[in-house]
Copies of this chain bind each other. A is one copy, B any other.
């Protein structure tokens, strides 16, 4: 799957994941009205609204980008109905040829991580049959529990040819509270990054590992250090756009071949129509606004990479 992701990034020229994090406040009124008319102001209605919203965005961007990153929390908050919309979204994106990165940040003790891995990337055995619960291509994993909490994910990745991105340095303001604390004179995120490289060396694709890392665009200097520590790990970079990261900040997360990182933007793409810059599209044409935002982001990153590595 990492080879497929790399191939799709080369084909599209866009190292971009569209973050499908549909909060109801991003969903245009006409979509919500229609869903509520059909299902009422219920969890079912809300789930229908975010599904229709996602579908329109996917339809308008799927030829431009290699991947989407649905944030499962935005679905989980709507309970069972929300999770049905999550599954529908995952399945639809795969149908459209997109690589799906489930942003779930799961992580637990061994047997429990195994269950998460089976549910999101693998299959579960029921009597004589095997079923996939959610069936994403990649998922994000929290490393706080250490190797035996991460390895079950890697084992399932090996079986299923899927991948993970392990949280190393997150994009939020207080990520430094624990992640930056010095251990033997070096920040904890570097120690975690070394483990990611070690875990990843056991499961390589043709040029990059199935085990990637998450490092936020909001900390570009960290990207530089991590790039050296984990040369073979793809870095999933959140925090572009709404969280403050810019194209020029991103170059450190890439290798000189222009590969090695995939940048996520959520609000900046899916709620583009709410920005002044794209307001001209109008709420009705929010999908086109998202497409324009992807095109701008692609140009921003390509320009920065060209400047850095030309």
Contact = CB atoms under 8 A, between A and B. Distances in A.
Interface stretch (A54-62, A125-133, A228-236): A125-133
A166 B36 CA distance: 37
B178 A191 contact: yes
A171 to B, nearest CB: 6
Contact of A144 (B110, B178, B182): B178
A73 B188 contact: no
Given A79-B119, A133-B77, A142-B144, A112 B71 contact: yes
Contact of A80 (B87, B147, B170, B238): B87
A115 interface: yes
Contacts of A147: 174, 177
A78 B125 CA distance: 9
A46 B77 contact: no
Contacts of A83: 80, 83
Contacts of A195: 177
Q: How many copies does the complex hold?
A: 2
Interface in A63-85: 71, 73-74, 76-80, 82-84
A149 B73 CA distance: 13
Nearest to A178: B146
A41 B174 contact: no
A42 interface: yes
Interface in A89-109: 105-109
A166 to B, nearest CB: 11
B181 A144 contact: no
Given A23-B115, A36-B127, 16 more contacts: A73-B108, A73-B113, A73-B115, A77-B119, A78-B119, A79-B131, A144-B170, A145-B167, A145-B174, A145-B175, A146-B175, A146-B178, A178-B192, A181-B191, A182-B183, A183-B183
